[in-house]
Amino acid sequence: MDNRTYKTVGRTVRKKDAMQLLLGKPVYTHDIIPKGALVVKLLRSPHAHAMVASVNKKAASAVPGVAGIYTWEDAPGNRFAIAGQTYPEASPYDRLIIDRHIRFVGDVVAIVAAETEAAADKAIRLIKVNYELLDPVLDIHTAKDNPILVHPEEDWFPPCQVGGDPKRNLVACETDSHGDVDRIMEECDIVLEHTYHTRAFNQAMMETFRTYSELDRYGRLHLISSTQIVFHTRRILSRALGIPKSMIRVEKPRIGGGFGAKQTAVCDVYPAFVTMKTGRPAEIIYSRKESFDAGSPRHEMEIKVKLGADKDGRIRALDLYTLSNTGAYGEHGPTTVGLSGHKSIPMYTGSLEAYRFAYDVVYTNTVPAGAYRGYGATQGIFALESAVNELAEKLHMDPTVMREQNMVREGMVMPAYYGETANACALDRCLAHCKEMFHWDEKYPVRDMGNGKVRTAGVAMAMQGSCISGIDVGSATIKLNEDGGYNLLIGAADMGTGCDTILAQMLAENMDCSVDDVAVFGADTDASPYDSGSYASSTTYITGKAVEKACDDLKKKLCRIAADMLQVDPADVQFEGKYVRCLADDRKIPLGDIAYKTQVFSNEHAEATASHSSPVSPPPYMVGMVEIELDKETGHVEVLNVCAVVDCGIPINPALATIQTEGGLVQGIGHTLMENVTINKKGKIIEDNFLQYKLPTRLDMGHLKVEFEQSYEPTGPFGAKSIGEIVINTPAPALAHAIYRATGVWHRELPITPEKILMELLQKN
């Protein structure tokens, strides 16, 4: 443990952008871009699977204000992926900017550019398309080895070998195991085997997908985009458009929510293509309907769990198989699925003797899935934690006691988590803390409240990661200004999480200054140092460490410059916040003087850049508990209390960590009880607006209480781990558990709506 007392780290600091947002200042993409850009609209297919036979643009082109209409005949033939992943991407190159082969309802048939939105909309309506309809593959169970191929093209290309085969509708497949699963299963007193199903939930961020593009004064393509991945977007555009990366600049302003959706370059290529065609600025703004129909939702997954245990509740073997639906294109398909097993199974390292984890990721003619907070772990934890709760109920054991005797603890090696050691793990303390805070012993029993209403509780635990180990890179550049303040340049994207503030706190702690002395800039591919982007819960852990390293380098530079000014050896001076002091005679050089010195006859600049990557991804841990009141006459579930205790190492900013946790809990409640994505027999999403896609409001979340148990992660900055994703993972299994206790019926498919609860109760009775 680190017992140091910090001035800024571990303390609540107001967010850097708080006042601009509260005062309604122009900070988002559409607020800041120049007026007069061409409006870009997309003609989308009404069919799930088809070939475009012909497109008649004559009437549409005659609409006043239309600047261009483009089809597959006008677009480059370079296949690419829109997944925001480090090169070489695990996701296959299976897209074209516009493809004649239509693969889902919402796939792009034509791009329209016009002077006004009205002209673009009118032109869209006047385009006539003849389709050759093909049979679609809509069922994930029949997709693998189906004679109907979603991607029959010969130029399908996998940058990484992940077991994909388009001739089998497979994006990825793999099997991983440790120990003799079958033998141990045979020895177990109890073997449970169930299948769990989760839908393709939408991120539903308030700011939809949007991008502005222009040619700058040097003829380079310049994008302003609401994106989490500026450097990946530059690479994606370079490949799709066939132009050098040096001719592309991507920057992001404030982001109006992302939750992983904007780790995918959903819309960036379309205005960029129009700008390259016309030479004019262009802007695209997805409607809410488009964001549902052609966004980047969570992967639908079906997870089969086989669990072997002894009658005393010791879990000895786990066997998971995940079938994941990537939709019409493969972005994030090969990577999300792995987390469904590798970030659920390791939680039971304490007792586990063997595990097997296998998966298939299949193409279907449905909306392509992508990254969403939790990134596959959410689905896997719902399945495994539900199975553990089922085991506890079958054995008439308190599920918290069962977890206490099976959970991973600090110092344990986790074979199912790539062999990493749990160097910082307070999961046991999280459970004890949560039980006390929630009053588990009082709320767990089923209590009849009269009028058909019962109250009870459920529990779950979770783990996640803090980066993509061995891959993610974070970087930071720190510059000293003449007034003694600092500029911090980053490539990570603050999307409301507060990373600008958290990284500024780390700089302030290292450089012994105020957070107000730090100006943060990011992210811009022309000015920011390279950063993988804001995803995989990596910003605090990875980019934070880069800030720490850059501070160390900068202090050494400042000492060298000051030593030269004092005409002493660098070993004889010491950095002390506002100045550098000579140890021998106490002479001091203020930072401002050092900055000015570097501007006159100097060979050393007062700035430093550092990068950081980690060979490990230390997991944060969490325990969540819920109390519900269920009405057996209507099936309605009212969430009364939600408690969570999180181990994210050392919380850098406790207020922001609390808000992150509360937001994730509410999203998890929404997934479990109301959010739904239903695809009809024609491949169309039914819930494509906020009237039908139900989100939780303040009235649906009950009373939230969040607290923390600290551990110290030796590889993290100031002992910190991540918190962004883990917080969404416990509500689903905990609520499913509570609903079982109230009704006697297990629900193994999300969402668990009142209709489902009532129908199951009627069938049971």
Eight-class DSSP state of 543: I
Domain membership of residue 1 (yes or no) is no
User: How would you classify residue 80: left for phi > 0, otherwise alpha for psi between -120 and 50, otherwise beta?
Assistant: beta
CA quadruple 212, 217, 219, 224: dihedral, nearest 10 = -20
Mean pLDDT by 10 residues, the chain (765 residues): 82 93 94 96 98 98 98 97 97 98 98 98 98 98 98 97 98 98 98 97 97 97 97 98 98 95 98 98 98 97 98 98 98 98 98 98 98 98 98 98 98 98 98 98 97 97 97 97 97 91 97 97 95 92 98 98 96 97 96 96 95 97 98 97 98 96 97 96 95 94 97 97 97 98 98 97 89
Q: How many CA atoms lie within 13 A of 105 on its CB side?
A: 20
Contacts of 206 by beta carbon, 8 Å cutoff, 6+ apart: 256, 257
Q: Same domain for 110 and 22?
A: no
Q: Same domain for 47 and 125?
A: yes
Nearest in space to 486 (alpha carbons), one of 511, 457, 456 = 511
Between CA 590 and CA 602 the distance in angstroms is: 17
Distances (CA, A) of 764 to 118, 539, 744, 759: 55, 48, 9, 9
Between CA 680 and CA 691 the distance in angstroms is: 18
CATH number of the domain within which 568 lies: 3.30.365.10
Contacts of 272 by beta carbon, 8 Å cutoff, 6+ apart: 211, 213, 221, 223, 237, 241, 282
For position 522, what pLDDT does the model report?
Answer: 87
Domain membership of residue 433 (yes or no) is no
The radius of gyration of the chain from alpha carbons, rounded to an integer in Å, stands at 27
Q: Same domain for 22 and 119?
A: no
Domain end, chosen from 293, 310, 332, is at 293
Domain membership of residue 448 (yes or no) is no
Nearest in space to 10 (alpha carbons), one of 759, 760, 542, 648 = 648
Encoded tokens for 418: 């790539």
Domain end, chosen from 240, 260, 293, is at 293
3-state helix, strand, coil in the chain (%, to 5): 30, 25, 45
Domain membership of residue 538 (yes or no) is yes
Q: Same domain for 22 and 64?
A: no
Residue 341 host element (H or E): helix 333-342
Q: Same domain for 22 and 56?
A: no
For position 63, what pLDDT does the model report?
Answer: 98
Domain count within the chain = 2
Angle, helix 427-438 to helix 399-406, in steps of 10 degrees: 170
Q: Same domain for 230 and 260?
A: yes
Residue 451 host element (H or E): none
Helix, strand or coil for residue 416? helix
Q: Same domain for 511 and 592?
A: yes
Whether the CB-CB separation of 376 and 339 falls below 8 Å is answered with yes
Whether omega before 88 lies within 30 degrees of 0, making that bond cis, reads: yes
CATH number of the domain within which 223 lies: 3.90.1170.50
Widest Cα–Cα separation across the chain: 90
Between CA 37 and CA 59 the distance in angstroms is: 23
Q: Same domain for 41 and 81?
A: yes
Domain membership of residue 236 (yes or no) is yes
Helix, strand or coil for residue 318? strand
Helix, strand or coil for residue 760? helix
Nearest in space to 223 (alpha carbons), one of 269, 288, 285 = 269
Nearest in space to 17 (alpha carbons), one of 661, 542, 478, 515 = 515
Q: Same domain for 22 and 126?
A: no
For position 744, what pLDDT does the model report?
Answer: 97
Q: Same domain for 516 and 568?
A: yes
Domain membership of residue 386 (yes or no) is no
* Range of the structural domain that residue 605 is part of: 18-26+468-612
Domain end, chosen from 578, 612, 646, is at 612
Whether the CB-CB separation of 337 and 95 falls below 8 Å is answered with no
User: How would you classify residue 723: left for phi > 0, otherwise alpha for psi between -120 and 50, otherwise beta?
Assistant: alpha
Q: Same domain for 550 and 472?
A: yes
Give the number of other Cβ atoms within 10 Å of residue 452's Cβ.
11
Domain membership of residue 528 (yes or no) is yes
Nearest in space to 344 (alpha carbons), one of 359, 331, 362, 360 = 359
Eight-class DSSP state of 525: T
Nearest in space to 530 (alpha carbons), one of 558, 489, 563, 567 = 489
Q: How many CA atoms lie within 13 A of 693 on its CB side?
A: 23
Eight-class DSSP state of 323: E
Q: Same domain for 233 and 130?
A: yes
Domain membership of residue 623 (yes or no) is no
Beta bridge partners of 194: 305
Encoded tokens for 379: 């689905």
